[in-house]
Amino acid sequence: MSNELLNELTFFVLSIFVGIEVISKVPTILHTPLMSGTNAIHGIILVGAIVIAAGASSPVNIVLGLVAVTLATTNVVGGFVVTDRMLEMFKGRQSQKQPAATKESTPTK
Amino acid sequence: MSTLIQLAYLVAAVCFILGLKQLSSPKSARNGNRIAAVGMVIALAATVPQRHFTTAGVIIIAIGVVVGGAAGSFGARMVKMTAIPQMVALFNGVGGGAAALVAVAELLTFGQHPTFSVALPSVFSIVIGSISFAGSMVAFAKLQELMTGTPITYPGQQVVNGILAAAIFGFVIAVLAVASIPFSFISLMVLALVLGIAFVLPIGGADMPVVISLLNAFTGLAVAASGFTLNNFALIVAGTLVGASGSLLTKLMSDAMGRSLGNVLFGAFGQTRVATAAVAGKEGRSVRSGSAEDIGTLLAYSQRVIIVPGYGLAVAQAQHAARELADVLEKRGVEVMYAIHPVAGRMPGHMNVLLAEANVPYEQLKEMDEVNDEFKNADVALIVGANDVVNPSARNAPGSPIYGMPILNADQAKNIVFMKRSMRPGFAGIDNDLMYDPKTLMFFGDAKDSLTKLVAAVKAA
C-alpha cells in the first residue's frame, strides 16, 4: 500500500468519526436545514468536475466534463442558497420579538 | 505550490467541520452555512491554479458554472417552503450524478489498465452516485406529485431488485478483474440507475424524507470515493463528513418514526395495509362537527390552547393564519403553544421552518417530549392538518402500520378540535380513532379558510 493511499485512508476514517460526532447533538428542529447544508457540502464534487473538465480534449471527455460541472454547480449553489433561505427565517424572530413583547404589556382584556 | 493547495484544502475542511458544528444550534446555524460556503469557495479557488486548462476545458467549465449556477439559484430562490424536501432531493440527485460522471471520466483517462486502487473507488462512485441520482429523481417525482406517492409494488419485486444488485456486483468484479470490457462503465451505470429507481418505487411518499437523507449520505460517500480516484484530499474529507453525518441523520429520522431503517426501506407498509383495512372499516361511527362560532367561543374562553400543526397546514399555506389566531388568543390572555411532532410536515424540522416563516416566536414551539405532559392541562388541542402524528392506534393497535410510532398526546386534552378537509385518512392511509372521540369536534374545510373564520369568531366572542 502506497504512502499516499495510507494517508487518504487515515483522513477517511477520521472524517467518519468527526462527521458523526459533530452533528450528534443537533435538535430536531434543525434536521431539515442540516440535511440541506450537508447536501450543499457534497457539492465539493465540483472540484472533481473541474479537475476532469480542465484537461478535456476528446469529445467524450468534453461532454462528460460539461455535464459534470453543470450538475455539480447546481448542487453547490442551490444547496447553499436554499439552506440560507431556511435559516434566514429562524433568525427573523429575535428582532420581531421586541415589538411583540411591548404590545403584549398593554392591557387588552 | 502544491503545499499551498493542500493547506487551502485543509482550511476548507476546517470550514466544513465548523460549519456543520454551528448548524447544530439555532442561533449560529445561518453563520454555519456561510462558513461552509466560504470553505467551498476556498477549495474551488485552490483547485484552479494547479490545472493545465485546454481551450475546450475553459469553455465547458464556464458554460457549466453559468448554467448550473443559474439553475441552482433560480430553483433555490423560487421554491416554496412547502416544497423544500423535493428541492433537496433534486440538488442531492445532481450531486450524485456529477460524482458518477467524474469517476467515469477519470477511469477513461487511465485507458485499459487502471490500477486496483483507482478502479475500486471509481466503480464504487459510479454505482453509488448513479443509484443516488436515479433514486433522488423518483423521490422528487413522488413528492412533487408528478407520480403517485403510494408505494408501487408488484409480485417478485424483491427478487428483481436482488437480481439487479447481483448483476451490478458481478459487473463490478468483472470490471476490477478484466477492466477492458467495452462499455462496461456504461452498462454498470445503466444497471445502477435502474436499481436506484427500483429501490425507491416501493417506498411510500411519507417515508421519502428518510430515503432522501439516506441518498444524501450515499452521494457523500460517492464523492469521497471520487476523491480516492483523483487523490483529492478535499473531496475525501468533505464527502466522508457528509456520508457519516447523513447516515446518523437518517437513523435519527427513522427513530423519530418509531421504525427501523430496514422497515422503512423494504416496504413493510405495503404488506400491513391489507390487515388494517379490516380493522379500520368500522363504518357508521358518529363524529361531532362544530361551527366556527362554537369553536371560536371554546377557544376564546380557554386558559391554554395547544396547536398541533401538520402537513395540511403547510399545503394550505395557513401558517400565517395560525399565527394570527394565536395572536388574538394571546391578546385575550390565553396561553398558546405549538406542539411539533418530529416528523410533522414532510421532514424533521420542516414544520419549524414553516412556522418560523410566519414569525411564530421560537419559545412557543415545543418539541414532542417537552409538550406531551402539557396536553392533560390544556383546554383545547387544536389539530390543524395533522393526522397520523396524533393517531392513538400508534399506541394501542398492534396491527397498525404506525404502531410504536411516538405520537403527541392530543387525546388527553379536555377538548379536541380536529381541523381537516374531509374524513379522508392521513398520509399513512389509516383511519384515526381520535376523530370519533366524544371529546372531539370536527371542523371541516381548507385549513387557511377555517383558521381565518376562527380568528373572526374569537374576535367576536
User: 3-state DSSP helix/strand/coil percent for chain A, to nearest 5?
Assistant: 85, 0, 15
Chain A's closest residue to B250, CA to CA, is A35
**What is the number of other CB atoms lying within 10 angstroms of the CB of residue B137?**
22
Region B442-459: what's the mean pLDDT? 88
Determine the pLDDT at residue B363: 82
A7-11, A83-87, B178-182, B328-332, range with the lowest pLDDT:
B178-182
Chain B's closest residue to A92, CA to CA, is B359
> How far apart, in whole angstroms, are the C-alpha atoms of residue B260 and residue B69?
38
Q: Do A32 and B347 touch (CB under 8 A)?
A: yes
Cα R_g (chain A), whole angstroms = 22
Determine the pLDDT at residue B273: 41
Count Cβ atoms within 10 A of the Cβ of residue B304 and give its class: 0-12 exposed, 13-18 middle, 19 or more buried: middle
SS3 call for B250: helix
> How far apart, in whole angstroms, are the C-alpha atoms of residue B197 and residue B137?
8
> How far apart, in whole angstroms, are the C-alpha atoms of residue B370 and residue B109?
57
Please tell me which of the candidates A12, A65, A75 has its beta carbon nearest to residue B60. A65
The residue among A2, A91, A26 whose CA lies nearest residue B252 is: A26
> Any idea where the domains of chain B sit in the sequence?
86-266, 288-460
Please tell me which of the candidates B26, B60, B73 has its beta carbon nearest to residue A62. B60
Cβ–Cβ under 8 Å, residues B321 and B309:
no
A69-73, A96-100, B345-349, B367-371, range with the lowest pLDDT:
A96-100
Evaluate whether residue A58 is within a structural domain: yes
Alpha carbon of A53: minimum distance to chain B alpha carbons (Å): 5
| Most confident residue range from A87-91, B13-17, B286-290, B333-337 | B13-17
What's the structural domain count of chain A? 1
CA distances from A39 to B85, B91, B248, B326 (A): 12, 7, 14, 35
> How far apart, in whole angstroms, are the C-alpha atoms of residue A56 and residue B63?
14
Determine the pLDDT at residue B236: 96
Determine the pLDDT at residue B197: 94
Alpha carbon of A33: minimum distance to chain B alpha carbons (Å): 8
> How far apart, in whole angstroms, are the C-alpha atoms of residue B267 and residue B210?
13
- Is A10 in the B-facing interface, judged by CB distances under 8 Å? no
Region B167-176: what's the mean pLDDT? 86
Evaluate whether residue A21 is within a structural domain: no
* Phi and psi based region of residue B348 (left: phi greater than 0; alpha: psi -120 to 50; beta: remaining): beta
> How far apart, in whole angstroms, are the C-alpha atoms of residue A104 and residue B203?
47
**What is the number of other CB atoms lying within 10 angstroms of the CB of residue B41?**
12
Cβ–Cβ under 8 Å, residues B399 and B275:
yes
Please tell me which of the candidates B68, B244, B256 has its beta carbon nearest to residue A70. B68
> How far apart, in whole angstroms, are the C-alpha atoms of residue B273 and residue B107?
46
Evaluate whether residue A62 is within a structural domain: yes
Determine the pLDDT at residue B267: 57
> How far apart, in whole angstroms, are the C-alpha atoms of residue A108 and residue B13?
54
Show the cell assigned to A6: 495510507
Determine the pLDDT at residue B52: 83
The residue among B387, B390, B380 whose CA lies nearest residue B447 is: B387
What lies within 8 Å, CB to CB, of B41 at 6+ separation is none
The residue among B325, B314, B339 whose CA lies nearest residue B410 is: B339
* B413-434 pLDDT tens trace: 988 998 887 776 666 667 788 8
Give the amino acid at B399.
G
* B9-31 pLDDT tens trace: 999 999 999 999 998 887 888 99
Domain hosting A75: range is 32-91
Chain B's closest residue to A29, CA to CA, is B349
> How far apart, in whole angstroms, are the C-alpha atoms of residue B451 and residue B446?
9
The better pLDDT of the pair B311, B450 is held by: B450
Task: Give this complex's ipTM.
Answer: 0.84
Alpha carbon of B115: minimum distance to chain A alpha carbons (Å): 12
- Which helix (H) or strand (E) element contains residue B308? strand B304-309
* Mean pLDDT score of chain B: 85
Q: In this structure, which topology does domain B288-460 adopt according to CATH?
A: Rossmann fold (3.40.50)
Measured between beta carbons, the chain A residues lying within 8 angstroms of B43 are 44, 47
* A52-73 pLDDT tens trace: 999 888 898 899 999 999 999 9
Task: Say yes or no to pLDDT of B274 above 70.
Answer: no
Evaluate whether residue A49 is within a structural domain: yes
Count Cβ atoms within 10 A of the Cβ of residue A102 and give its class: 0-12 exposed, 13-18 middle, 19 or more buried: exposed
